[in-house]
Amino acid sequence: MALLTVQGLVQHFPVAGSRKVVAAVNSVSFDLEPGETLALVGESGSGKTTIGRCVLGLIRPTGGLIRYRDVEMGGRRTVRSPELRGKLQLVFQEPAESLDPRQRLYEQIDEPLRALGVNRADREKRVRAAAARVGLREAMLGLYPAEISMGLQQRVGIARAMISEPEIVVLDEPTSALDPTARAEIIDLLIRIQRDLGTAYLFISHDLSAVRQISHRVAVLYLGMIVEQGPAAKLFARPSHPYSVGLLSAVLLPNPTIRRESRISLAGEIPSPIDLPKACYLASRCPMVEERCRTRMPEVETVEPGHLVRCYRHEEVVRDGDAVDYFARFQAEAERILGAGMPPQVSTGQPMNESERGNVDHG
Amino acid sequence: MQLLAYLGRRLLFVAPQLVGILLVSFFLLKLIPGDPAVMMLGPFATDDGLARLRAELGLDRSLLEQFLIYLGNVLQGDLGTSWQTTLPVTTDLAQRFPATLELVTLALLLALAIGVPLGVAGARYKKGLLRTTADYYGLFAGALPDFWFGLVLIFLFYTTWALVPAPLGRLDFVILPPPEITGSLLIDSTLAGNWQALRNAAGHLVLPVLTLGLINAGPILKMTQSTMERMLESDFSRYAEMCGLPERVVARKALRNALPSVVTIVSVLYGFLIGGAVLVEIVFSWGGAGQYAVGGVLNADLNPVMGFVLYSAILSLVIYLIVDLIYFAIDPRTR
Amino acid sequence: MSDRQPQDPVIALEGLTVAFPRYGGEPVRVLKGIDLALAPGEVVGVVGESGSGKTMLARAIMRLVPRPGRIEAGRISFDGRDMGQLDGEALRRLRGRDIAMIIANPRSELDPLETVGQQIGNVLRHHLTLDKPAIRARSLELLRQVSIPDPERRINAYPHELSGGMAQRVVMAIALACQPRFIISDDATSGLDVTVQAQVLELMRKLVVERGTSLLFITRDIGITAHFCDRVAVLFAGEIVEIGPRHAFFADPKHPYAILLLAAYAQNERLRRYWLGDTTAGAAEGPATTGCPFARRCVRAQDRCRTEHPRLEEMAPGHFARCHFPVER
């Protein structure tokens, strides 16, 4: 049984002073298993953040079902209700904005536990353990957020989210505001925490190389609709939706010889979510567009079990593509180039199981 | 179109806002101890006479009833009578409100003419004479009480140098006032072609306008300078500089972006000065609206006070509406 | 300037040092002895994290170092002329006309109260003294060049009515307005969505190549430089620690900090752990003041690194690194 099930989620926001609505989320369905990472990938306006908020019960969806442990969310049952408190947590994009500038780091991490009514001695033990887990030294706990770097602030944000031992953490672009090295450290940290605690992540991001590293499964969103979803390794190697291809070939990995060259390149920009296209949402930007794409929304089709796509011509997309996971190729190259400078005892160490990520089959 | 819809929405709220303001001020005023009947009949009044007068004034009824009666009268354009002047409040205010408006408007124009350029200069130059002037001006204008400053001006310009007419009202007694059209003596006498009255009225205006203008230039200067500094350090100014635009063009862009704050502070000062100029009005025996209202409060003469509150409230609403229209004109994001 | 060769650099920085005075101490040097020259039509990427001095580099070249900082030493020559010899007015004329800037967050850097047309027009009017019809014609042409659809309508738009990608294109149009010889892009595409970023980068590359304009592309995203720049420079603590031709740099990075930046993208945890060092230590201590500034974070650091400041040395033709113990492959 899935930990979290989202079915036909719809979220429309009214536009002030008009009868129109912003169609932020349009019938989104997915589930999340214990201990897995599902990435919601998309550009601005794709509705990924809104989905995260709905899952936490921070906003009431216009339609659809969200079930956590087989019980429906909504009404009074939100992230704030007593039986769910601490079970679902959130990590924000801007660490500085999610922390109280006038509170010491210790209190910030401690706060969720106080809300849960944990006794003082237990709290202290758990705060110190959480701080150690995210790599914050004891001495830092007395500092204020402004006194530490952004990467460390994000560690505090993660410690705060993890302290109540949640089952699901919504990570809303947790690496986007960070410098590359801090970003790498945060990704490492998140992977390690998941391995140790078995927390499930809903990882919301537009950073595809972070997604590739951290996720087991990926859902690609466009204008509030999932256009493709599947196991990370499969989706990155054989993207079946033109938008996924466009997204992947726009990623610039730090190796000049590696880039997805594709005849699919997306024109223009994402249309307004106020006046949605009538049929396939990508029709206005897609180089493979046909008449039927403009008249009727394509149904969800199964490429193979667990890999779903919403495109009439997905077979051609795959056939014309080169079926290469450029991220994997990049990783192999990086290991070759960067491994060269490492002393032999390090480079012959135990292989980590990280390369398995993305290949995990959750049935 | 959008503008009209907006104005319509705004006007819809004017009536309830005014009733609310009247309600609150009515009950607040009733909290002040003091019996108008006692005030009117003096110390030798009989209990019987007092009771009769109270019944006549409606003071024996409940507060709510009194308020509803007052409100009903207001709707018919009757603001009651002042027992001090024995004239209808509308007549009194028709005379006094324009006097205050003329004074405050001219004073704020002067304040703008001083505050904005000095504030801009203070923001543009990090040191130098202009910057020092701006800094000290802001300090002194904030520290000087306006009535005291008015007295100093009278001592210098009237008593010592005799450059202006006596500080007693808006016009010398010997001068025939122009027929009243707008209530502003400057405008009315110009319209009537009465140059003698114009010169005399202008002479009377000089000192009070200087007093209020020089003092209130302080906050305008401070606001202009701080907003302007922020705008000059903002991203778009830095970018304009990197595009090689001349410094005066960069400053002009910054000033345009700073204008909404200046407009806001002017509107706040305007509303405040309608009643807040009262000390200066007293010093110059101006016979303005503020003076009238204070007299009413001190003598338990409520109708003038309520009338003043109503007029000021309407004026404030009009000012805020104008402010919104100015924002609308300056900033495309509000459209 | 008839004696100048076509391959003479458009812009050359020699020993550029920018310092901020500090009360009761040595001034803080945010840029230290930067040497860099761009040939006509060349695209050079400068990669650095926050605090590396990369934004200051852009401002120093523009000669717009914010107070109380100042250019303490070094020389910037544009087209062979020493910019330090120019007065304020001459520098202003250079900015936006010969040296243009493309910035990040264009929606906050454009004047919110002026239309696109007015903002392009400002630059055209003050640098080229065109008349009104000519300004309009040229503005429309520029908007077309940066592939803005429906330029007749967009010329009257205000910045808040533009998407991030559109605003970025407008800023590019302003940069191209006077056909500059040299453009600096400061983190320009960082706020854009990836598909839009790809479009903007392609356009930028095309416009630069067509005109033979030199481009200094400052970014924190080392991935972009791999696909977009002719040469790549890595900035750390105000110094160039490595610079080389794109392919040589990425195939054979020499400096441990450059490798660290690359390892940040590696999935292999061993690699990352090794090059990024102990994550709990973080970068909290800041760069060292004696010896190699990177020594505290460097996995290869030895005693010599803590005492002796390394010089930028040529490892392969055109490929320089500032390291006592560069990585050999």
Mean pLDDT confidence for C285-312: 86
Q: Which residues of A touch C276 (CB under 8 A)?
A: 181, 184-185
Mutate to test the interface with C, among A46, A337, A355, A357 (most CBs of C within 10 A): A337
Q: What is the pLDDT of residue B46?
A: 85
pLDDT in the model for residue A354: 44
- Give partners of C (≥3 CB pairs < 8 A): A, B
Cβ contact, residue pair A254, C250, below 8 Å: yes
In 3D space, the residue among A188, A326, A192 whose CA is nearest the CA of residue C268 turns out to be A188
Average pLDDT over residues A1-10: 91
B242–C93: do the CB atoms touch at under 8 Å?
no
User: What pLDDT, on the 0 to 100 scale, is given for residue A198?
Assistant: 94
Asked whether the CA dihedral B194, B199, B204, B207 is positive or negative, the reply is: positive
- The C residues from 128 to 187 touching A (CB cutoff 8 Å) are 149, 163-166
Angle CA A297–A300–A306, to nearest 5 = 160
* Residues 226 through 285 of chain C touching chain A, CB cutoff 8 Å: 226-228, 246-247, 250-253, 256, 259-276, 279-280, 282-284
C-alpha to C-alpha distance for A84 and B81, rounded to whole angstroms: 67
* Coil, strand or helix at B158: helix
Question: For residue C224, which residues of chain A lie inside 8 Å, CB to CB?
Answer: 252
Query: Looking at residues B231-249, what average pLDDT do you find?
Result: 94
A182 vs A197: CA distance, rounded Å:
22
Q: Which of B124, B239, B333, B335 should one mutate to test binding to chain C, selecting the residue with the greatest count of C CBs within 10 A? A: B239
From the list A135, A269, A340, the residue facing C280 with the nearest CB is A135
Give which of C225, C229, C228 is closest to C261, Cα–Cα: C225
pLDDT at C280 over 60: no
Average pLDDT over residues A59-67: 89
In chain C, which residue's Cα lies nearest the Cα of A266? C195
Report the residue of A255, A261, A335 to disrupt the C interface, i.e. the one with the largest count of C CBs within 10 Å: A255
Query: In the prediction, which pLDDT does A344 show?
Result: 72
Mean pLDDT of all residues in C279-303: 75
Which strand ranges, in their side-by-side order, compose the sheet holding A168-172? A88-91, A168-172, A200-205, A37-41, A217-222, A225-231, A307-309, A301-304
Answer whether C160's CB lies under 8 Å from B332's CB.
yes
Residue of C nearest to B328 (CA): C113
Q: State how far residue C23 is from chain B, nearest Cα, in angstroms.
A: 20
Q: How confident is the model at residue B213 (pLDDT cuts 50, 70, 90)?
A: very high
C119: nearest CA partner in chain B: B240
Closest C-alpha among A309, A132, A151 to residue A230: A309
pLDDT given at position C323: 95
Q: Which chain C residue shows the shortest CA-CA distance from B239?
A: C109
Above pLDDT 90, what percent of chain C? 66
- Residue A267 vs residue A330, higher pLDDT: A330
How far is C22 from C39, CA to CA, in rounded Å? 36
Contacts for B46 with CB less than 8 Å, ≥ 6 apart: none
β strands within chain C, DSSP E: 11-22, 25-38, 43-47, 70-78, 81-82, 99-102, 182-186, 214-219, 231-236, 239-245, 313-316, 319-321
- Percent of chain C, pLDDT > 70? 95
pLDDT surpasses 80 at A80: no
Domain range summary for chain A, segments of one domain joined by +? 4-219, 240-327
CATH class of C1-92+221-249: alpha beta
Q: Do C112 and B331 touch (CB under 8 A)?
A: yes
Q: How far is C113 from chain B (nearest CA, A)?
A: 6
CA distance C193 to chain A (A): 6
pLDDT band at C2 (very low <50, low <70, confident <90, very high): very low
Nearest to A252 among C226, C271, C275 (CB): C226
Which of C150, C231, C271 is the best substitution to test chain A (most A C-beta atoms within 10 A)?
C271
Spell out the domains of chain B, with CATH numbers in brackets.
2-75 (no CATH), 93-334 (1.10.3720.10)
ipTM for the predicted complex comes to: 0.89
Q: Does the beta carbon of C203 lie under 8 angstroms from any beta carbon of chain A?
A: no
Place of tokens 């089952």: A167
List, for residues C5-27, the tens digit of each pLDDT value: 657 899 999 999 999 998 888 88
3-state DSSP assignment of residue A277: coil
Using the predicted structure, report yes or no on whether residue A360 has a pLDDT greater than 50.
no
Task: Note the pLDDT tens digit of each residue in A91-104.
Answer: 988 888 889 999 99
Q: pLDDT value at position B59? A: 83
Stretch A123-143: mean pLDDT: 91
C127 touches chain B (CB under 8 A): yes
Closest partner residue to B244 among C97, C110, C161, by Cβ?
C97
DSSP C146: T
Structural contact between residues A210 and A174, judged by C-beta atoms closer than 8 angstroms? no
Contact B245 C122 (CB under 8 A): yes
Q: pLDDT value at position C75?
A: 94
- What confidence tens digit (pLDDT) does each residue in C219-252 have? 999 999 999 999 999 999 999 999 999 999 999 9
> Chain B residues with CB inside 8 Å of C126's CB?
244-246, 249
- Average pLDDT of every residue of chain C: 90
Predicted confidence band at A345 (pLDDT cuts at 50, 70, 90)? low
Q: Contacts of residue B259 in chain C, CB cutoff 8 Å?
A: none
- Give me Rg for the CA atoms of chain A: 21
Residues of C with CB below 8 A from A223's CB? Answer: none
Three-point CA angle B244, B245, B246, nearest 5°:
110
* Alpha-carbon gap, residue A253 to A209, rounded angstroms: 8
Q: Encoding tokens for residue A177?
A: 């505001």
pLDDT of residue C25: 83
Element counts in chain C: helices (H) and strands (E): 13, 12
Q: Is the pLDDT of residue A28 over 90?
A: yes
A209 neighbors A34 (Cβ within 8 angstroms): no
Of B242, B253, B330, the CB nearest to C111: B253
**Which region, left, alpha or beta, applies to residue B82 given φ > 0 means left and ψ of -120 to 50 means alpha?**
beta
pLDDT single digits (tens) A145-176? 998 888 899 999 999 999 999 999 999 999 88
Confidence of residue A29 (pLDDT cuts 50, 70, 90): very high
What's residue B38's pLDDT?
A: 81
User: C83: distance to nearest CA of chain B, Å?
Assistant: 15
User: How far is Cα A32 from Cα B35, in angstroms, rounded to an integer?
Assistant: 76
* C93 touches B: beta carbon within 8 Å: yes
Pick from C67, C105, C174: CB nearest B243: C174
Report C:31-60 residues touching A (Cβ under 8 A).
49-50
* Chain A CB contacts of C197 below 8 Å: 250
Q: Which residue has the tokens 């300037």?
A: C1
In the CATH scheme, what is the code of domain A4-219? 3.40.50.300
**Which pLDDT does position B41 carry in this prediction?**
82
- What ranges do the domains of chain C cover? 1-92+221-249, 252-329
Q: What is the pLDDT of residues C111-163, one digit of tens each?
A: 999 999 999 999 999 999 889 999 999 999 999 999 888 899 999 999 999 98
Residue of A nearest to C196 (CA): A269
CB contacts of A268 in chain C (<8 Å) are 149
Chains that touch A (3 or more CB pairs under 8 A): C
How many angstroms separate the CA atoms of A97 and A142, rounded? Answer: 19
Over 50: is that where the pLDDT of A355 sits? Answer: no
pLDDT at residue C279 above 70?
no
Please report how many Cα atoms fall inside a 13 Å half-sphere around the Cα of residue B259, on the Cβ side.
15
Q: Which residues from chain B sit within 8 angstroms of residue C101, using beta carbons?
A: 239, 242-243
Helix or strand holding residue A52 (H, E): helix A48-55
Contact C207, C238 (CB under 8 A): no
Q: Say which of B235, B239, B244 has its CB closest to residue C93.
A: B244
A156-183 burial, b at 16+ Cβ within 10 Å, e below that, comes to: bbbbbbbbbebbbbbbbbbbebbbbbbb
Chain C residues within 8 A of B241 when measuring between CB atoms: 64, 95
Q: Residue A361 above 60 pLDDT?
A: no
Beta bridge partners of residue A221, listed in sequence order: A226
Q: pLDDT band at C181, cuts 50/70/90?
A: very high
Q: What is the pLDDT of residues B41-97, one digit of tens each?
A: 888 888 888 888 888 888 888 889 999 999 999 999 899 999 888 899 999 999 899
Structure confidence at residue A356 (pLDDT): 46
- Subunit contact B239:C62, Cβ cutoff 8 A: no
User: Does position A236 have pLDDT exceeding 80, yes or no?
Assistant: yes
pLDDT > 70 in chain A, percent: 93
Query: From the centroid of its chain, how far is CA C59?
Result: 10
**Per-residue confidence band for A353, with pLDDT thresholds at 50, 70 and 90:** very low
Q: Exposed, middle or buried, C314 (CB in 10 Å: 0-12/13-18/19+)?
A: exposed
Residue count of chain C: 329
A interface mutation test: which of C269, C276, C315 has the most A CBs within 10 A? C269
Q: Cβ distance A242 to A311 under 8 Å?
A: yes
pLDDT band at C4 (very low <50, low <70, confident <90, very high): low
Measured between CA atoms, the residue of chain C closest to residue B232 is C111
pLDDT above 70 (res A339):
yes
**Which residues between 213 and 232 in chain C have a beta carbon less than 8 angstroms from any beta carbon of chain A?**
220-228
Instruction: Write out residues 98-117 of C within 8 Å (CB-CB) of B.
Output: 100-101, 103, 105, 108-114
pLDDT digits (tens, 9 = 90+) for B110-160: 999 999 999 999 999 888 898 999 989 988 888 888 889 999 999 999 999
pLDDT at A363: 33
Among B residues 30-89, those touching chain C with beta carbons less than 8 Å apart: none
**Which of B 101-130 lie inside 8 A of C, CB atoms?**
126
Nearest to A340 among C49, C267, C327 (CB): C327
- Tell me what pLDDT residue A193 has: 94
What are phi and psi for residue A278, nearest 5 degrees? -75, -35
